[in-house]
Structures are given as C-alpha cells and as structure tokens.
Amino acid sequence: MMQLKMIPGAIALLAGFAFQSAALAADEPIQPIKPPANINLGMVELGKKLYFDPRLSKSGFISCNSCHNLSMGGTDNIPTSIGDKWQQGPINAPTVLNSSLNVAQFWDGRAADLKAQAGGPIANPGEMAFTHTLALGVLESIPGYVREFKQVFGKNKIDIDQVTLAIAEFEKTLVTPNSRFDQWLLGKKDALTADEQAGYKLFKDSGCVACHNGEAVGGNSFQKMGLVEPYKAASPAEGRSAVTGKDADRFNFKVPSLRNVALTYPYFHDGAVWDLKEAVQIMADIQLGQRLSEQEADDMTAYLESLTGEQPQIVLPILPPSRPDTPRPEVKS
C-alpha cells in the first residue's frame, strides 16, 4: 500500500495556517463552535431513544422532540408550545441545538444543566404531564429498555438520574459547527458576502456583542428584556425573578443563542415576532436605544443568517416495543 509522506516544509505551512486561523478567531468576541468531546456513545444512543419516545408522556403522544424538533432548528416554530390536552405553554420553546453551551437551561435559568432540565418537562402537568415514578414504570416494563439501561449503567434498576443523564448526553451531541461565519472566523474570507461582513461589523460596533458573544453567540448571561424601553410581552413570564425571588430580576431572561437563528422563529421569550429583520429592529430599539436604517437592518439580518451551521444528522431510533403489561397512555380529555 502506498503511503503519503509530507515534507517538513508542508507540515510547517499547515501548522502556520492553523495557528494563523486560530489567532484570527481569538481576536473576535465570537468563537467557532467546536465538535462535542468526551461523549459516551452507548449513553448517547440510549438518550436518543428516550428523546424521541412519546411513552414518557401521560398521553403517549408527546416526546422531547415534540417541542424541540430536530427537523426544525431544535424548536417547534410556534409562539408557545402545546402540551398535554392541548394546553398552551406560557413561553417560547428555546432551541435544543447548542444548548450544552448555555450557562443554565430554560429562559429563567431554573435548571443548572441539561441533566437538570431533562426531568422537568416529563413531570410538568402542562407539558408531558407524567410523573417520574410513572415514567420509570413504563421503562421498566419494556425488556429492551431494561437490557439497554443495564448495559449502559451497569445497574439492575432504572432510576430517573439514569434517564436524565442519558437524555443530556444525547443533547450534548446536538451542536452545529461549520457555519459560513465560523468558516470566515477561521480564515475563509470569501465565506461571507460584503453585506454580511458589514452586518457583523455593525453587530459589534452597535454593542450587540456585549450580550451575544462566545461560541453560542449568547446563552451565557441573563439580561433585562427592555433595557432602554419597556417591552410589552405577550407572555406572563417574568423571567429570572421567578427563580431568585428578587424584584431586580423581573424581566431578566437568559440571552438566547443566535446560532441557527434563521431557523428558530418566532422570536423572543413570548414568540411574538416572526420576522428576523423585525426582531433585529426591535432589539436595537429597546435594548440599545438605536434606530437602524433599512440597509443596516438588512445587513445585520444577513449576518445573522450566516450563523446557520451544519444540522445534526439523526438516524431515527427504533424504539423497543411495549409489552402487554406496559402501562397504557391516558388520552381522555
């Protein structure tokens, strides 16, 4: 078999290019998304099954993917999600894509990490409307799950920690690297158009990067919605104050990631705005006290559209079948 040998000069040239690309990216307030690391593949496969399994809901109809649809940018593209018995939730479903990069989970940050978040919707009466005990009963009645949990965790009994760990491990893989903007950051200067580059410059110069920075272009702080001018929300949610009990935290929400923002409409915590350009103009008004011209709004919107990365390529799991003694879903209204 022929082996390719690389001459020392070529090695030095490639190393120099990689170093130069890293240096270029390091000078920017936004960093390229890195692939996930230290992933337990067996746990990921189990977590993927659980993520898509509607039997973790009371109705047997709702799964994690119902509100965080991986075919739709990791969200559901409606203002607020629909839960058990067609209940409409109080807040827009944030995308699950790149959620491992968030400082905390949910708009108000009430879950510290993905594991803590994963158990919430299962037991929420307005979402999946089950209890952890009932969900475990379903899983324990399915021989395929019993075997797989034992293979992954080495225990004879399934518990909720295993369930949430597995779902979180799968969600860690849902990153979207290699957007055109990431390519530009890493030195491919023709990856962005002139308008998109102008939009990024405006994004920095106007102060957007004060909140929307880092790998996720957000997700790493809590800020008041309506900093300069009040925002009249269509949702009753009051944000971080529901967690801290502090009045100073009212209407403080986790800054959303702008990765894949072209896919995650409608926008804001109340899902009130469907058009990305309109969302850009509103944020400039109420957060920065700036009125963008039509060209500026167009340029910034074009830049934001360049943040769409490679979407996770998911092979739908084949779920282990229920048995005659598996608890039946409750579908009565």
CA separation for the pair 228, 287 (Å, rounded): 5
DSSP 254-309: EPPP-TTGGGS-SBTTTT-B--HHHHHHHHIIIII-----HHHHHHHHHHHHTT--
Give the contacts of 123 (CB within 8 A, at least 6 positions apart): 130, 131, 132
Active site residue 305: no
Nearest-CA neighbor of 145 among 128, 131, 166, 130? 166
* Angle in degrees, CA 104, 108, 113, rounded to 5: 20
Give the other-Cβ count within 10 Å of 333's Cβ: 4
Q: Is 88 helix (H, G, I), strand (E, B) or coil?
A: strand
Identity of the amino acid at 128: M
Q: Which amino acid is at 157?
A: K
Query: Which residue among the candidates 28, 127, 305, 310 is catalytic per the annotation?
Result: 127
* Cβ-proximal residues to 146 (8 Å cutoff; 6+ apart), any chain: 139, 140, 158
- For residue 99, the tally of other CB atoms under 10 A from its CB is 22
Q: What are phi and psi of 276, to 5 degrees?
A: -65, -40
- Residues acting as catalytic residues: 127
